Amino acid sequence: QRDYRIASIPGDGIGVEVVTEARKVLDRAAARYGFGLEWTRFDWSCERYSRTGTMMPEDGVERLSVFDAIFLGAVGFPGVPDHVSLWGLLIPVRRAFAQYVNLRPVRLLPGTSSVLRDRTAAELDMVIVRENSEGEYSELGGRHGSGHPGEFALQESVFTRVGVERIIRYAFDLAGSRLGRLVSATKSNGIIHTMPFWDEIFAEVAADYPEVAAEQCHIDALAARMVQHPERIDVVVGSNLFGDILSDLAAAITGGLGMAPSGNLNPPGEYPSMFEAVHGSAPDIAGKGIANPVAQILAGAMMLEHLGEHAAARAVSGAVETVLAAGEAATPDLGGHATTAGLGTAIADAVG
Ligand code: NAD
Ligand code: IPM
Ligand code: MN
């Protein structure tokens, strides 16, 4: 019997709701494909912060290190400042485990529709490869001159050669296994230190991949292209912030935030990788039972793939497609009236 130890951190808001449904589906897949998922649930969240003053215990990262994978809902909720909740849990975990790839595949699934009119599934299929460990997300900087008219804030970005090269190489490898097209998001016309450095490394790595059609595009123009000509986009590589923004945009054109999964990967496999939806805790719909659990379920499929359970991973994504294609159990964001649990149960049943 193959057994995997999974750390589950449902977190806040709809994170808790969608993780419940995803576990339902994943447990069904495990039973059908003959392996075990041994879940350990951690209550690390804004609720915990309000009780104890910290998002996770001091040895939180150490406790996660023994698991085969981490399954995260979402963190952040009104009442706790976002920089406190996110820098107290999500970002430290990504960094401690060198999860330097944030892999965010999006495609238009059967039975769902794009906000872009007349676009087919074949035209809307891309992967955002987001740098996940450095860049614009940094604690360097500060605020100065409080109360004075000249008050200002400084925010430093950190781009290392190792960090930039490894994410770009990962994206080239991935593009090589897909359509062989890679576009790098840049802004070297406005950001004159880090972005030219990024572009230079991109050009160096490109020389090792003559079979991949590589191109760079300014992030502003790329955002427009993603909407007007998504069919030209296969793999996108971007810095931490650019990748973050582009992934919500890519999700929006392929059925919405409720559909987009994400893997925080440590490619050497030295540390656990972490799987979550692209979306957040959605306080505006939390507690109503109407969140779309598909993104979290597909993140579960990515986790199974990562664990080497390829058949089970395919069964989970296949079940999502079957249920969506049938048009039953659609949540309100998909134009239906089903609940989170209704859609989750339908997908679990389709797994068998
Ligand atoms: P959000 O992704 O939570 O919500 C944006 C919009 O999309 C909302 O209108 C929401 O209702 C909708 N939406 C999101 N997921 C949905 C789903 N599964 N089904 C239906 N509708 C869905 O983004 P936000 O409002 O900017 O952030 C809310 C909180 O979540 C903040 O505290 C933020 O910092 C945090 N956040 C956490 C993560 C994470 O833990 N990985 C990611 C993003 C945001
Ligand atoms: C995401 C989120 C986080 C990020 C926030 C909540 C810090 O938006 O995972 O996409 O920007 O990484
Ligand atoms: Mn984001």
- Residue of 3, 43, 82, 220 marked active site: 220
Closest-CA residue to 318 (of 101, 33, 73): 33
Could you read off the pLDDT of 91-119 as tens digits, one per residue? 999 999 999 999 999 999 999 999 999 89
| 1: pLDDT strictly greater than 90 | no
226 and 266 inside one domain = no
Looking at 254, 276, 306, the residue that finishes a domain is: 254
Does the residue 105 lie in any domain?
A: no
Looking at 198, 223, 254, the residue that finishes a domain is: 254
| 10: pLDDT strictly greater than 90 | yes
Does the residue 324 lie in any domain?
A: yes
Count of structural domains within the chain:
2
Which residue owns the Cα nearest ligand 2 atom 5?
Answer: 86
248 and 279 inside one domain = no
| Alpha-carbon 245 to chain mean position | 11
125 and 242 inside one domain = yes
Q: Which two tokens stand for residue 73?
A: 């809902």
Q: Residue 278 belongs to a domain with what CATH number?
A: 3.40.718.10
3 and 118 inside one domain = no
E strands, 111-222, are 125-131, 141-144, 152-155, 181-186, 213-218
Q: Strand 35-41 relative to strand 2-11: parallel, antiparallel, unpaired?
A: parallel
282 lines ligand 1 (CB under 6 A): yes
Looking at 217, 233, 254, the residue that finishes a domain is: 254
> Which residue's entry shows tokens 């100065």?
144
193 and 139 inside one domain = yes
Helix residue ranges per DSSP H, the chain: 14-33, 46-52, 60-64, 82-85, 91-96, 161-177, 194-206, 219-228, 240-253, 294-307, 310-325, 340-351
Could you read off the pLDDT of 175-207 as tens digits, one per residue? 999 999 999 999 999 999 999 999 999 999 999
Tell me, in angstroms, the distance from the centre of ligand 1 to residue 334's CA.
16
pLDDT confidence tier of residue 328, bands split at 50, 70 and 90? confident
Among all ligands shown, which has an atom nearest to the Cα of 252?
1
- Residue of 33, 187, 209, 333 marked active site: 187
- In the chain, the percentage of residues whose pLDDT exceeds 90 is 99
- Residue of 12, 125, 234, 244 marked active site: 244
90 lines ligand 1 (CB under 6 A): yes
Q: Are 6 and 69 in contact (CB under 8 A)?
A: yes
CA distances in angstroms from 56 to 38, 50, 53, 278, listed in the order given: 21, 11, 9, 21
235 and 276 inside one domain = no
> Which residue's entry shows tokens 């191109």?
215
Q: How many CB atoms lie within 10 A of CB 111?
A: 17
Does 12 qualify as catalytic in the annotation? no
Does the residue 106 lie in any domain?
A: no
302 and 342 inside one domain = yes
State the Cα–Cα distance between residues 50 and 196, nearest whole angstrom: 43
Q: Which atom of ligand 2 is nearest to the CA of 244?
A: 10
143 and 81 inside one domain = no
Does the residue 294 lie in any domain?
A: yes
Helix (H) or strand (E) holding 169: helix 161-177
Q: Which two tokens stand for residue 350?
A: 């389709």
Which residue owns the Cα nearest ligand 2 atom 9?
Answer: 278
221 and 281 inside one domain = no
Does 43 qualify as catalytic in the annotation? no
229 and 331 inside one domain = no
Q: Which atom of ligand 2 is nearest to the CA of 75?
A: 6
Domain carrying residue 349 = 1-99+257-352
What residues are in contact with ligand 2 under a 6 Å CB criterion?
A: 76, 86, 90, 244, 278, 280
pLDDT confidence tier of residue 81, bands split at 50, 70 and 90? very high
CA atoms within 13 A on the CB side of 198: 30
250 and 273 inside one domain = no
State the Cα–Cα distance between residues 279 and 256, nearest whole angstrom: 9
Taking residues 52-63, what's their average pLDDT?
Answer: 98
Which residue owns the Cα nearest ligand 2 atom 12?
Answer: 244
Mean pLDDT of the chain: 98
Does the residue 78 lie in any domain?
A: yes
pLDDT, residue 245, reads 98
Ligand 1 pocket test target in 281, 288, 334 with most atoms within 8 Å of CB: 281
27 and 123 inside one domain = no
- Exposed/middle/buried for 185, CB within 10 Å: 0-12, 13-18, 19+? buried
pLDDT, residue 205, reads 98
Does the residue 104 lie in any domain?
A: no
Size of the chain, expressed as the number of residues it contains: 352
Does 125 qualify as catalytic in the annotation? no
Does 187 qualify as catalytic in the annotation? yes
Does 288 qualify as catalytic in the annotation? no
**CA torsion sign, 59 to 61 to 63 to 66?**
negative
- In the chain, the percentage of residues whose pLDDT exceeds 70 is 100
Does the residue 150 lie in any domain?
A: yes
Does the residue 107 lie in any domain?
A: no
Could you read off the pLDDT of 249-261 as tens digits, one per residue? 999 999 999 999 9
